Chain A
Amino acid sequence: MPQAGPVQPRYRVAVDIGGTFTDIVVQDASSGEVSTGKVLSTREDPARAVLTAIERFAGGPEQVEFLVHGTTVGLNAVLERRGARTGLLMTAGFEDAYLIGGNDRLDIFDIRYRKPRPLLEAEQIFAVEERIGNDGEVQRELDLAALAPVVEQIRGQGLESLAVCLLYGYMAPDHELALERHLREELGIPVLLSHRVSPEWREYARASTTVTSAYIAPVIERYLSTLIEQLDQGGGRSLHVMQSNGGVMSAEVAREEPIQTLLSGPVGGAIGAQEISRVLDRPNVVCVDMGGTSFDVSLTIGGEASVSTETEIDGLPLQMSAVDITGIGAGGGSVAWLDGAALRVGPRSAGSEPGPVCYGRGGSEPTVTDANLALGRVNTSSFAGGGMELDLAAAEEALAGLGGELGLSAVETAQGILDIVNAAMADAIRTQTVERGIDPREFALVAYGGAGPMHAAALAEQLEIDEVIVPAHPGTFSAWGMLQTDVRHDLRVTHFRALEEIDVGEAAAAFAALEAQGRELLLSEDVDPQRMHATCMADLRYVGQEYSLRVPVPSPELDPAAVKVDFDRLYHERYGHSSAASPAEVVKLWVTVRGDLPRPAGSVAPAVRDAPHGDRSVRFGGEWQAATVADRAAIAAGSSLAGPAVIEESTSTTVVPPGWSARVVEGGHLAMNRSGGTK
């Protein structure tokens, strides 16, 4: 534990703040050895749980060489509409654009449909007398004098931050910049400019991105300053934040670009799966995270986690790169219920309060977890770190009660619940692969989260996937994933030209400007210039299309003919057809800069504990079978365990059905393979 005097920091630490638990993964920077822990989250002041975890599992901030964390502070502020009171200034004539939105109806059958709730209302939106044309020329000068009543109203309403989004601001930012100076001077509150937050066209999406940024900026600022202050007192340093795009950034940059912290939490798992794909040389991986309330799917294709160039939260569009994660409401807490004579599972969840019946906290409707317990897949006493004794009798009674009306016994009902939820999850994965024109059979399945490893083999069977990987520490995998990332920034500019007519020199200059901007950011984050890399990309589409595809550009001096060939090829991979004869147009130019972080070579498999395997009766295929029960830490690297088996560890349980076998592979991960023949 901490001693007096200067200490040489020796840990790389990742912290993932979830709704119930804050997870921590601690890695020894020299040996690479990894340990994990969990503390209860502190919702009102999330920084407190981070510090507690660091004190308890890393010996205090002064022991920490590198700290990355995933935060849901910004996301929760948006989901609960508890962000700053924000104002929006837009070009006169278009001040309703934010509330009109896309004017589409997401539920096309609902005649009472309401749009997603905006982050601010009409009285918080102000018109600015000015207009820039689509050639970037000023058509109407900005009149700052006319702004006096607006300044008064902003003051009167007590707004805490401002977003400015002028038409074509990304092309000609002078008016936005002049407004920033004026408003900062007059009001002294944060002013976010659309051309900085998102230098892209589409005024509604850009306004929404800028508003969201302004809405969470003060919240993120408060949170990060608390955390930095407290870490500094303990001598901690190098605080980093996980970004939606799968990279990390320094806390200082996060204060400037709060929007990138929005999907900070769940992204860690997707990046962890990408790392497993690299280490185990499985380029294509379906990554599933099943917890108490949700089932999230992401894909790694060709060794890269799938990232999209725009996303949305709660129906509000955001122009930013984000790892693609899609979820359905299926988890351990999903409730089974009757709709007439039909048995349904979810999407409603019992959550952790009251939780499944077997938690004994007042839940009375059987859940997926109760079904797993009744079939012997979960140990009544070792669940979730052994902190809780599960009530098997209560679960069975609830299952029997529900099944009774359908003429089913408790175990039949339990099996039925699993069959229904597994089929729904497999369908969700399949739809994602169909969308991209890929065949899930060529993928490995990485499963984590408290419930993921329990269902993984059954999902794999439905999808005809032959290999399942359960990572080391599946209960804290998102945090582990955060340790596998590098510093990354995506910079882009709208550059709308016909590909054939593109001025190569002009494009190269645009790439160079973006790269310079990126390198400057990395320098500010103390990244060694030797460890910086930049990649150029362009978003292209066929003329007449609306949405575009991102194509790597090998050199800033792009070769239009070569880019077209690559675009046609990628388009064909994604959509099943392409047209060499159709002209393409460039929409945006991108530069991704990365700063490699030093990492100890390959994390070491956990030490083997010497504990004999036990056995227990577990129900598979409608029959009780004697299954091996093993402590995960007691399975030696390289040795294999044949199903039926249940592998237990503190944060998760892995089910190995008959016909499957499991072995510990490189990195301490567990690989399950179908031996074939049985089914």
Chain B
Amino acid sequence: MKGAVRAVDPITTEVIHNFLTSCANDMNAALFRSAYTPIIYEGRDCAVALMDREANPLGQSTGVPLFLCNLEVCVRHALEHHGLDWFEPGDVVIMNDPYIQGTHLHDVTVFGPIFYEEQLVGFAASRAHWQDVGGKDIGSTMRSVDVYQEGFRLAPTKVVSRYQPDPQWMDFLRRNSRLGYELIGDLDAQIAACRTGEERVRQMLDRVGLEVFEAAKEKIFEQAAERHRAAVAALPDGVYRAEGELDNDGVGSDPVRVAVEVTIEGERFAVDLTGTAPPQLGPVNCGYAQAVSAIQLAYKSLIRPDMAVTGGTFDPLEVTIPDHCCFNAREPVACEWYFTGLGLLITLIISAVGEALGEDAVCPDYGDSMVITIAGERPDRSFWVSSEPTAGGWGAHGRDDGESALISLANGAFKNIPVEVYESKYPVQIDEFAIRTDSGGPGRLRGGCGVRRTYRLLEDASLSLWLERSRTPAWGLAGGSAGAGPDCQTDGPAGHWQGLKVNRLELPAQTVITLQTGGGGGFGDPLQRDPERVCEDVRRGLVSARAARERYGVALDPHTLEVEPGETERLRGIG
């Protein structure tokens, strides 16, 4: 429109709004397409983001929800330390410092500036999990007590200057990983993702011009801020508190306290972690930036989850994390299992605010990745390693039961390995993969159930486990009960063992390892659950007849499994 008064019309704004999400999807597609290691293109342990000159989020696509808006922190840090002038067209910067970006050394953030007509207009970034970044153990380290045991550490480092890769840095990276070849391949894939974002943004700027693009961006931020403020304002004001404990820090045996206070006051949503445990010796510490991302994730799952994240989304959110806190990790504490505490933190926030949400409240899920690693040596002296996270039960909410056998928040889109595939790769037979009866928290709406996965060693092997949340399993809300916690036992020629965390426990062939994951929390009084639904749960193997009687006050005919109304009334009358 000639001589338009409006800098940008609503149509161009919407076209640009849709473009930002689509552009992030394209960046992700480029990353998946060219990544070398399955943990990226199948496990989707990665994220991409597009941001403006001030590192405000424009669009993003992530495989792991925990990475929400975490890439922005990395760029912001580089901007604060080096300024805008540090960046030249074609540069690529990488970093993995857990005290800056907040996660662990495996998560490598790669980003580059986007220039348009010789002006820096924004950044494209990607993050992916690199399988080996040095460190004392191959893959994920266990029982580390400082960051130096976990691998190499980089602050924002230019590895490509003006489109020219720095051969010395490439060499450094290759030499410091047990999987150097794949590492360079994955780095190239991440750079390809950034270049895709850069190119797509330039195409858009060619079409609409920088001025219109910037004006549309401001509009989009404004609209997001306004919608999110309104959603926070609609929540009842109040101060909501919750706390729980991690079993231990992975090295010692003392529990680790996590405390949350959420204040909702008008359009303000404030989260304060004062009261949370100090930094730990073991690797459960998490940097400030990633703790903020986890809090943003909890916030976003409550406030307009339907809207894409952009600048403005987190306007109502204020975060306070004490200096001396396991969620404010500083050199040199260990961070390898940084996400363990985040699962608890997120559910504490969601369930604390749940008090104010009534039927919209969501009970906690089983809470952690539940990683089991079985490793051994082949006759030719090479090693085999099987390492998998395990699904568990999710929380009920005011309108539905929780889902059973679903992967945790920290693992995003991970799929279990089929038994027929697993047994072809490792000298281990799986004897059972089943829903764990009675593990879901009883409630008017029942928590989802965890699983039982039973492994039989066909050769001598070692077992490493990282199971959590036995001290604070998924609790119930509104009168509902907690789900079961995790459990692992081994039986075989070497006798019986039971435990949750262990590093390289040597086991002889024919040992049977039975891993059970926990369930989700229940919502509302279990005695108010419709007896017919309890009966259905029993028929479906989610609840035992005994638990139906003892926890739900429902008596069933042992032969027909039909509800016995008289006895049920009697049981519920007493309850």
Which residues does A use to contact B, with CB under 8 Å? 93-97, 99-106, 108-115, 121-123, 133-134, 167-168, 201-205, 339-345, 406, 408, 412, 415-416, 419-420, 423-424, 427-428, 430-431, 434-437, 496, 544-547, 574-577, 622
Contacts of B223 in A (CB 8 A): 339-342
Candidates B1, B19, B451; contact of A423 at CB < 8 Å: B19
Q: Which stretch (B82-90, B326-334, B401-409, B492-500) binds chain A?
A: B401-409
* Interface membership of B574, Cβ < 8 A: no
* Interface membership of B541, Cβ < 8 A: yes
Given the interface pairs A94-B432, A133-B429, A423-B18, the reply to whether A546 lies near B42 with Cβ below 8 Å is yes
Q: Report whether B415 and A431 are in contact in the complex, using a CB–CB cutoff of 8 Å.
A: no
Q: Report whether B418 and A100 are in contact in the complex, using a CB–CB cutoff of 8 Å.
A: no
Nearest first, the 6 A-B pairs at minimum CB distance are A416-B11, A122-B540, A427-B22, A103-B391, A102-B415, A93-B432
Candidates A114, A167, A576; contact of B34 at CB < 8 Å: A576
Q: Report whether A112 and B10 are in contact in the complex, using a CB–CB cutoff of 8 Å.
A: no
User: Could you tell me the distance in whole angstroms from the C-beta of B521 to the nearest C-beta in chain A?
Assistant: 12
Contacts of B404 in A (CB 8 A): 99-100
Given the interface pairs A122-B539, A201-B421, the reply to whether A100 lies near B451 with Cβ below 8 Å is yes
Residue interface bits B3-23, CB-to-A below 8 A is 1, else 0:
000000111111101110010
* Interface membership of B339, Cβ < 8 A: no
Which residue in chain B gives the minimum CB-CB distance to A462? B207
User: Could you tell me the distance in whole angstroms from the C-beta of A87 to the nearest C-beta in chain B?
Assistant: 14
* Interface membership of B154, Cβ < 8 A: no
* Interface membership of B190, Cβ < 8 A: no
Contacts of A340 in B (CB 8 A): 223, 226-227
User: Could you tell me the distance in whole angstroms from the C-beta of B363 to the nearest C-beta in chain A?
Assistant: 10
Contacts of B435 in A (CB 8 A): 96, 99-100
Residue of B13, B34, B420, B424 most packed against chain A (CB within 10 A): B420
- List, sorted by A's number, 15 A–B pairs whose CB atoms are closer than 8 Å: A100-B404, A100-B435, A103-B451, A104-B413, A122-B541, A134-B420, A134-B429, A168-B420, A205-B418, A416-B11, A420-B14, A424-B18, A544-B38, A546-B42, A622-B1
Q: Report whether A108 and B63 are in contact in the complex, using a CB–CB cutoff of 8 Å.
A: yes
Q: Report whether B416 and A103 are in contact in the complex, using a CB–CB cutoff of 8 Å.
A: yes
User: Could you tell me the distance in whole angstroms from the C-beta of A629 to the nearest C-beta in chain B?
Assistant: 27
User: Could you tell me the distance in whole angstroms from the C-beta of B282 to the nearest C-beta in chain A?
Assistant: 28
* Interface membership of B431, Cβ < 8 A: yes
Which residue in chain A gives the minimum CB-CB distance to B226? A340
Q: How far is A100 from B390 in the complex, measured between Cα atoms in Å? A: 12
User: Could you tell me the distance in whole angstroms from the C-beta of B54 to the nearest C-beta in chain A?
Assistant: 22
Among B303-333, those with CB < 8 Å from A are 305
Contacts of A108 in B (CB 8 A): 62-65, 409, 412-413
Contacts of A339 in B (CB 8 A): 223, 227
Contacts of B15 in A (CB 8 A): 419-420, 423
Q: Report whether A102 and B429 are in contact in the complex, using a CB–CB cutoff of 8 Å.
A: no
Contacts of A103 in B (CB 8 A): 391, 405-407, 414-416, 451
* Interface membership of B123, Cβ < 8 A: no
Candidates B185, B416, B451, B542; contact of A577 at CB < 8 Å: B185
Q: Report whether A576 and B33 are in contact in the complex, using a CB–CB cutoff of 8 Å.
A: yes
Contacts of A133 in B (CB 8 A): 423, 429
Contacts of B433 in A (CB 8 A): 93-94, 96-97, 100
Which residue in chain A gives the minimum CB-CB distance to B416? A103
Q: Report whether A343 and B29 are in contact in the complex, using a CB–CB cutoff of 8 Å.
A: no
Q: How far is A437 from B30 in the complex, measured between Cα atoms in Å? A: 8
Q: Report whether A419 and B11 are in contact in the complex, using a CB–CB cutoff of 8 Å.
A: yes
Which residues does B use to contact A, with CB under 8 Å? 1, 9-15, 17-19, 22, 25-26, 29-30, 32-34, 36, 38, 42, 62-65, 185, 188, 192, 196, 219, 223, 226-227, 297, 300-301, 305, 350, 362, 365, 391, 394-395, 397, 400, 403-407, 409, 412-416, 418-421, 423-424, 429, 431-435, 451, 454, 539-542
Q: How far is A510 from B297 in the complex, measured between Cα atoms in Å? A: 51
Candidates A115, A416, A576; contact of B10 at CB < 8 Å: A416
Contacts of B540 in A (CB 8 A): 121-123
Q: Report whether B33 and A134 are in contact in the complex, using a CB–CB cutoff of 8 Å.
A: no
Contacts of A424 in B (CB 8 A): 18, 22
Q: Report whether A114 and B400 are in contact in the complex, using a CB–CB cutoff of 8 Å.
A: yes
Q: How far is A348 from B56 in the complex, measured between Cα atoms in Å? A: 30
Contacts of B423 in A (CB 8 A): 133-134
Which residue in chain A gives the minimum CB-CB distance to B415? A102
Which residue in chain A gives the minimum CB-CB distance to B539? A123
Given the interface pairs A100-B451, A434-B33, the reply to whether A94 lies near B419 with Cβ below 8 Å is yes
Q: How far is A657 from B297 in the complex, measured between Cα atoms in Å? A: 46
Given the interface pairs A167-B420, A546-B38, A577-B185, the reply to whether A434 lies near B196 with Cβ below 8 Å is yes
Q: How far is A436 from B30 in the complex, measured between Cα atoms in Å? A: 9
Q: How far is A437 from B26 in the complex, measured between Cα atoms in Å? A: 11
Q: Report whether A576 and B418 are in contact in the complex, using a CB–CB cutoff of 8 Å.
A: no
Which residue in chain A gives the minimum CB-CB distance to B207? A462
Q: Report whether A105 and B420 are in contact in the complex, using a CB–CB cutoff of 8 Å.
A: no
Candidates B394, B414, B419; contact of A104 at CB < 8 Å: B414
Q: Report whether A427 and B19 are in contact in the complex, using a CB–CB cutoff of 8 Å.
A: yes
Which residue in chain B gives the minimum CB-CB distance to A338? B10
User: Could you tell me the distance in whole angstroms from the C-beta of A105 to the nearest C-beta in chain B?
Assistant: 6
Q: Report whether B406 and A115 are in contact in the complex, using a CB–CB cutoff of 8 Å.
A: yes
Q: Report whether B362 and A105 are in contact in the complex, using a CB–CB cutoff of 8 Å.
A: no
User: Could you tell me the distance in whole angstroms from the C-beta of B300 to the nearest C-beta in chain A?
Assistant: 7
Q: Report whether B301 and A99 are in contact in the complex, using a CB–CB cutoff of 8 Å.
A: no
Q: How far is A112 from B350 in the complex, measured between Cα atoms in Å? A: 12
Q: Report whether A99 and B405 are in contact in the complex, using a CB–CB cutoff of 8 Å.
A: yes
Q: How far is A101 from B65 in the complex, measured between Cα atoms in Å? A: 21
Q: Report whether B406 and A113 are in contact in the complex, using a CB–CB cutoff of 8 Å.
A: yes
Q: How far is A299 from B320 in the complex, measured between Cα atoms in Å? A: 51
Contacts of B414 in A (CB 8 A): 103-104
Q: Report whether B403 and A420 are in contact in the complex, using a CB–CB cutoff of 8 Å.
A: no
Given the interface pairs A419-B15, A430-B22, the reply to whether A113 lies near B394 with Cβ below 8 Å is yes
Q: Report whether B407 and A104 are in contact in the complex, using a CB–CB cutoff of 8 Å.
A: yes
Contacts of B542 in A (CB 8 A): 122
Q: Report whether A100 and B539 are in contact in the complex, using a CB–CB cutoff of 8 Å.
A: no
Known: A108-B65, A111-B409. 4 other contacts (CB 8 A): A108-B64, A133-B423, A340-B223, A577-B188
Which residue in chain B gives the minimum CB-CB distance to A115? B403
Q: Report whether A342 and B13 are in contact in the complex, using a CB–CB cutoff of 8 Å.
A: yes
Q: How far is A517 from B42 in the complex, measured between Cα atoms in Å? A: 34
Q: Report whether A577 and B34 are in contact in the complex, using a CB–CB cutoff of 8 Å.
A: yes
Q: Report whether B13 and A434 are in contact in the complex, using a CB–CB cutoff of 8 Å.
A: no
User: Could you tell me the distance in whole angstroms from the C-beta of B484 to the nearest C-beta in chain A?
Assistant: 17
Q: Report whether B434 and A93 are in contact in the complex, using a CB–CB cutoff of 8 Å.
A: yes
Given the interface pairs A103-B407, A167-B419, the reply to whether A111 lies near B301 with Cβ below 8 Å is yes
User: Could you tell me the distance in whole angstroms from the C-beta of B324 to the nearest C-beta in chain A?
Assistant: 31
Q: How far is A343 from B406 in the complex, measured between Cα atoms in Å? A: 36
Contacts of A577 in B (CB 8 A): 34, 36, 185, 188
Contacts of A202 in B (CB 8 A): 418, 420-421
Q: How far is A423 from B12 in the complex, measured between Cα atoms in Å? A: 10
Given the interface pairs A122-B540, A122-B541, the reply to whether A104 lies near B415 with Cβ below 8 Å is yes
Q: How far is A134 from B425 in the complex, measured between Cα atoms in Å? A: 10
Q: Report whether A114 and B403 are in contact in the complex, using a CB–CB cutoff of 8 Å.
A: yes
Contacts of B17 in A (CB 8 A): 342
Which residue in chain A gives the minimum CB-CB distance to B27? A434
Given the interface pairs A134-B423, A204-B418, A544-B38, the reply to whether A343 lies near B14 with Cβ below 8 Å is yes
Given the interface pairs A93-B434, A434-B26, the reply to whether A109 lies near B301 with Cβ below 8 Å is yes
Given the interface pairs A114-B403, A122-B540, A123-B539, the reply to whether A203 lies near B33 with Cβ below 8 Å is no
Candidates B12, B22, B192, B403; contact of A431 at CB < 8 Å: B22
Q: Report whether B418 and A201 are in contact in the complex, using a CB–CB cutoff of 8 Å.
A: yes
Q: How far is A340 from B539 in the complex, measured between Cα atoms in Å? A: 48
Q: How far is A94 from B405 in the complex, measured between Cα atoms in Å? A: 14
Contacts of B416 in A (CB 8 A): 100, 102-103
Candidates B33, B403, B406, B418; contact of A435 at CB < 8 Å: B33
Contacts of B420 in A (CB 8 A): 134, 167-168, 201-203
Candidates B9, B185, B394, B541; contact of A416 at CB < 8 Å: B9
Q: Report whether A100 and B405 are in contact in the complex, using a CB–CB cutoff of 8 Å.
A: yes
Given the interface pairs A133-B429, A423-B18, the reply to whether A110 lies near B406 with Cβ below 8 Å is no
